[in-house]
């Protein structure tokens, strides 16, 4: 059992580098199932969701060779259909991309129901609707999802009832080798959707419109290998931006695409922080008193739901009343009870709005748990801002999405370490 121990209350300053994006790396790795060739994937973060995706590929018969740090070669020629191991698939939400990729290559798929963070009900009806519209027969039980076709998929028009990152990518994967043209309407527009489409196009796919709400895919009969680098992680970058403001420090955050961070930069500036954009960096600094702010999370380009918990920490440190409204997930506020242990004054109404009464310097060190990935990131931000000692349990959630978080934060002056506690 590992835990994080933080002695907080010190400004962080220096340069901190952002790793490749988890939510682009996982679909791009699993899209290799579709490619009967060798690919080299670069800028992969060393995080457990990436390592599990590679384990899934290996267990299915791919040959994975680690080249230099963050770079792997994947030879997917000998992948065996319907062979993704249940225990690995259940550890990770995004393993549902095996479905779209297997349907594309083999015309059939059989995958265990996926795991992941608990934000209440997390349906995959839009993924299934998309596969069925392309001609698959899909059956879902508690434990497995089975999708079958009669000789492959047929391009069609798919209208998404909700804007879903996962369903947009999954239907895009499935459609790449379908017969004819597929149009996805009301598609999600996140940068990781564009990155996955760019990767597939580099492999010979014909996808246009990724990044808008209408994506057109003209089916191709084969894909070939490429060398491809994953884009930087906007949520890791956003977490560091909030951290600079929360600790009244100054962080130059490098290897970012500033355009992806605009909704976060705007809210930080509204609170009184300074955000300077470079070509591939943002520098966030702050001294003085943070102003309260209201935020509502939305699909991209709105304020990201995956920054809700971290931003809420900043609201606790502002002078006055702020509101965080969740517009994507049903139950994203489980972290609030943990923040209260650090002294936060927050009430949640209808499960959708956190009403925060902020007071500068109000947070004090305490023992808390990382309840999910971004909730855990928020505990790190809160612990570094709070005076005194904070201990964070269940840090495996944080390690799913943040590469070398301890080393990176130590390099900018954080007093943070990881300790192993023996279980009694
Ligand atoms: N939804 C449906 N039906 C579906 C799919 C989604 O109703 O078939 C609903 C969901 O219940 C939710 C909304 O649509 O209310 C958005 O869900 P989405 O499908 O976009 O989420 P996801 O693809 O499962 C990804 C990220 C999440 C991130 C969300 C929203 C990955 C692996 N996960 O999840 O990231 O919160 O998009 O941006 O890409 C994280 O990285 O910490 C994380 C949880």
Q: Which residues contact 73 (CB under 8 A, 6 or more apart)?
A: 38, 39, 40, 63, 64, 65, 67
Rounded Cα distance, 217 and 239, in Å: 34
Rounded Cα distance, 269 and 274, in Å: 6
Pocket of ligand 1 (CB under 6 A): 22-23, 26, 93-94, 117, 122-127, 162, 164-167, 188, 305-306, 328-329, 373-374, 401
Give the 3-state secondary structure of residue 293. coil
Pair 13, 31 in one domain: no
Residue for token pair 């059992």: 1
Q: How far apart, in Å, are the Cα atoms of 145 and each of 28, 110, 376, 381, 419?
A: 21, 6, 30, 38, 39
Pair 141, 221 in one domain: yes
Q: How far is the CA of 166 from the centre of ligand 1 (A)?
A: 6
Which residues of the chain fall below pLDDT 50? none
The whole-number pLDDT of residue 167 equals 97
Pair 299, 399 in one domain: yes
The whole-number pLDDT of residue 305 equals 98
The whole-number pLDDT of residue 99 equals 96
Q: How far is the CA of 162 from the centre of ligand 1 (A)?
A: 10
Pair 215, 241 in one domain: no
Out of 118, 172, 190, 328, mutate this one to test ligand 1's pocket (max ligand atoms within 8 Å of CB): namely: 328
Phi and psi dihedrals of 256, rounded to 5? -125, 165
The answer to whether 117 is a known catalytic residue is yes
Q: How far is the CA of 299 from the centre of ligand 1 (A)?
A: 9
pTM: 0.96
The whole-number pLDDT of residue 406 equals 97
323: domain CATH number?
3.65.10.10
Pair 298, 152 in one domain: no
Last residue of a domain, one of 197, 214, 229: 229
- Containing structural domain, residue 325: 2-18+232-420
- For 336-395, write each residue's pLDDT tens digit: 999 999 999 999 998 899 999 999 989 999 999 999 999 999 999 999 999 999 999 999
Last residue of a domain, one of 202, 229, 256: 229
In the set 117, 203, 312, 316, the catalytic residue is: 117
The whole-number pLDDT of residue 93 equals 84
The whole-number pLDDT of residue 423 equals 67
Pair 139, 252 in one domain: no
The residue nearest atom 11 of ligand 1, judged by CA position, is 122
The whole-number pLDDT of residue 114 equals 75
Out of 123, 124, 166, 332, mutate this one to test ligand 1's pocket (max ligand atoms within 8 Å of CB): namely: 166
The whole-number pLDDT of residue 109 equals 96
Rounded Cα distance, 279 and 296, in Å: 28
The whole-number pLDDT of residue 421 equals 85
The whole-number pLDDT of residue 145 equals 92
């Amino acid at each position: 059992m590992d835990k994080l121990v933080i002695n907080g209350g010190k400004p962080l300053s220096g340069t901190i580098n952002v790793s490749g994006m988890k939510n682009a790396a996982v679909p791009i790795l699993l899209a290799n199932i579709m490619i009967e060739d060798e690919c080299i994937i670069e800028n992969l973060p060393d995080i457990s969701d990436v390592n599990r995706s590679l384990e899934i590929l290996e267990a299915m018969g791919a040959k994975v060779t680690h080249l230099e740090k963050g770079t792997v070669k994947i030879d997917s020629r000998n992948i065996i259909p319907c062979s993704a191991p249940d225990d690995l698939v259940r550890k990770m939400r995004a393993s549902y991309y095996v479905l779209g990729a297997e349907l594309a290559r083999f015309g059939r798929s059989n995958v265990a129901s996926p795991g992941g963070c608990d934000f209440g009900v997390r349906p995959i009806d839009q993924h299934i609707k998309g596969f069925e519209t392309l001609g698959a027969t899909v059956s879902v039980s508690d434990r497995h999802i089975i999708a079958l076709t009669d000789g492959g998929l047929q391009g069609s028009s798919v209208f998404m009832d909700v804007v879903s990152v996962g369903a947009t990518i999954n239907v895009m994967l499935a459609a790449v080798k379908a017969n004819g043209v597929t149009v996805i309407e009301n598609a999600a527009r996140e940068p990781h959707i564009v990155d996955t489409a760019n990767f597939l196009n580099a492999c010979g796919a014909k996808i246009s419109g990724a990044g808008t709400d209408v994506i057109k895919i003209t089916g191709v009969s084969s894909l070939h290998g490429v060398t491809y680098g994953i884009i930087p992680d906007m949520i890791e970058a956003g977490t560091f931006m909030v951290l600079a403001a929360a600790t009244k420090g100054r962080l130059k955050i490098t290897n970012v695409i500033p355009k992806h961070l605009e909704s976060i930069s705007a809210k930080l500036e509204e609170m009184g922080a300074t955000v300077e954009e470079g070509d591939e960096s943002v520098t966030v600094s702050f001294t003085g008193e943070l102003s309260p702010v209201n935020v509502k999370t939305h699909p991209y380009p709105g304020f990201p739901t995956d920054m809700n918990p971290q931003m809420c920490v900043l609201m606790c440190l502002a002078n006055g009343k702020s509101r965080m409204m969740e517009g994507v997930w049903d139950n994203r506020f489980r972290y609030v009870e943990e923040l209260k242990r650090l002294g936060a004054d927050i009430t949640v109404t209808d499960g959708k709005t956190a009403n925060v009464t902020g007071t500068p310097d109000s947070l004090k060190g305490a023992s808390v748990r990382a309840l999910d990935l971004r909730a855990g990131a928020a505990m790190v931000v809160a612990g570094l801002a709070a005076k005194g000692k904070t201990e964070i349990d269940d840090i495996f959630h944080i390690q799913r999405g943040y590469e070398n978080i301890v080393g990176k934060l130590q390099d900018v002056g954080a007093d943070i370490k990881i300790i192993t506690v023996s279980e009694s």
